[in-house]
């Protein structure tokens, strides 16, 4: 997928991965793997950005004798996901515009 | 490669970044590798899944905004030691005057270059003004029915107009050249600062 397009979608994907329950880094990558490939450094950057934007909070919890960071979605994060739904309708109309001529030829 | 090797190599590659950033990143990779091991991967395989250290480091640097990197780079890495400060102060009569002299020479050269360009402009303006004079004189001569003189003056005037147009383009090119030179000189220093 086009890198610019993907970049915009990754934020939403990470939020979606922690929507139903708190999750941790590796679990997020695994959950997203079937849909979108993401490197560790990219995930780190996105998590930092979302945290700075107040869309998620981080807590460290003990797990198997070590600390693991869990990410929890906030109200702002849920709002962002809702916003994405609305964006999507707009995106679909853009998609129809872009592919209009192809369909006309068929 | 085991986890410790991976993390210390990565720390080395990221040594230019702020300390808090590096420890955060390392903790993140530490957790990622541990989680893979917990899932049944060997330590080697878990580390392999992170990719080569230099690529990981390159990607991290790529994702950090440039402005922050530059800020980190410009910040001095260490303080001057006492004897270095002493030496700087004691040597100041020597190095300060040399530095000032060098600066003054550079400034003088720069001023001379602009003065030359200024001379060119002055010549161009002078030629243009005299061309106007010649044209006016030619007109007057013709009014007084002194046709040969009038034609000669008009011809000279037209020639001078042509010359002044030519000079104008020459002057403009020269000015632009000096401005470009100034920029090149400035960027030399700015780049040096960023790379230091």
The predicted pLDDT at position B63 comes to: 75
Judged against a pLDDT cut of 60, whether residue B76 lies above it is answered with no
What's the number of domains chain B is made of?
Answer: 2
| In the predicted structure, residue B108 carries a pLDDT above the cut 90 | yes
| B57, closest residue in chain A (CA to CA) | A41
Domain that holds residue B19: 3-74
Provide the CATH number for the domain around residue A41: 1.10.10.10
> How high is the pLDDT of residue A76?
94
* pLDDT on residue A56: 94
Per residue in B3-58, pLDDT (tens digit) is 889 999 988 888 877 777 888 888 999 999 999 998 888 889 889 888 888 888 88
A65: contact with B, CB 8 A cutoff: no
Calculate the CA A46 to chain-centre distance: 8
Considering CB atoms only, which of B28, B60, B63 is closest to A25?
B28
Quick check: B52 contacting A, CB < 8 Å? no
Packed helices B92-143 and B82-90: angle between N→C axes, nearest 10 degrees? 50
The total number of structural domains that make up chain A: 1
A40 → closest Cβ in B34, B39, B50: B50
Q: Does the model's pTM come out above 0.80? A: no
Distance between start and end Cα atoms, chain B: 33
Task: Give the domain extent around A76.
Answer: 3-105
Per-residue model confidence as pLDDT tens digits over A31-74: 988 888 888 888 998 999 899 999 999 999 988 888 899 999 99
- Reported as a pLDDT band with limits 50, 70 and 90, residue B196 is very low
Q: Among residues 84-103 of chain A, which lie with CB inside 8 Å of chain B?
A: none
State in Å, rounded, how far the first CA of chain A is from the last one: 25
The answer on B116 and B66 residing in a single domain is no
Pairwise CB contact (< 8 Å): A41 & B32? no
State which of B74, B106, B130 marks the end of a domain: B74
> Is any Cβ of chain A less than 8 angstroms from the Cβ of B37?
no
Question: What is the residue-averaged pLDDT of chain B?
Answer: 86
Q: Indicate the average pLDDT of chain A.
A: 88
Residue B16 lies in a domain: yes
Task: Please state, as a whole number, how many other Cβ atoms lie within 10 Å of the Cβ of residue B131.
Answer: 20
């Amino acid at each position: 997928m086009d890198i610019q397009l993907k970049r915009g979608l990754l934020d939403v994907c990470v939020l979606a991965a922690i929507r139903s329950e708190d999750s941790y880094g590796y679990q997020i990558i695994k959950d997203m793997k079937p849909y979108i490939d993401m490197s560790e450094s990219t995930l780190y950057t996105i998590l930092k950005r979302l945290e700075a934007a107040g869309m998620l909070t981080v807590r460290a919890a003990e797990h198997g004798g070590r600390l693991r960071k869990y990410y929890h979605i906030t109200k702002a994060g849920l709002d962002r996901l809702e916003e994405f739904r609305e964006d999507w309708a707009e995106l679909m109309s853009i998609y129809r515009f872009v592919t209009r001529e192809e369909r006309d030829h068929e | 490669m085991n986890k410790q090797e991976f993390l210390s190599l990565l720390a080395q590659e990221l040594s230019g970044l702020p300390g808090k950033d590096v420890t955060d990143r390392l903790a993140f990779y530490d957790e990622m590798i541990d989680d893979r091991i917990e899932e049944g991967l060997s330590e080697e395989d878990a580390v392999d899944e992170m990719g080569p250290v230099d690529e990981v480091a390159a990607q991290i640097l790529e994702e950090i905004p440039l402005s922050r990197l530059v800020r980190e780079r410009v910040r001095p890495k260490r303080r001057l030691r006492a004897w270095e400060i002493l030496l700087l102060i004691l040597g100041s009569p020597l190095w300060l005057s040399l530095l000032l002299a060098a600066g003054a020479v550079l400034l003088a050269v720069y001023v001379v270059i602009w003065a030359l360009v200024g001379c060119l402009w002055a010549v161009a303006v002078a030629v243009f003004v005299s061309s106007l004079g010649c044209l006016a004189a030619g007109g007057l001569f013709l009014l007084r029915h002194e046709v040969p003189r009038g034609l000669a003056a008009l011809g000279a005037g037209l020639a001078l107009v042509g010359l002044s147009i030519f000079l104008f383009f020459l002057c403009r090119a020269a000015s632009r050249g000096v401005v470009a030179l100034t920029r090149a000189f400035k960027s030399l220093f700015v780049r040096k600062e960023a790379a230091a």
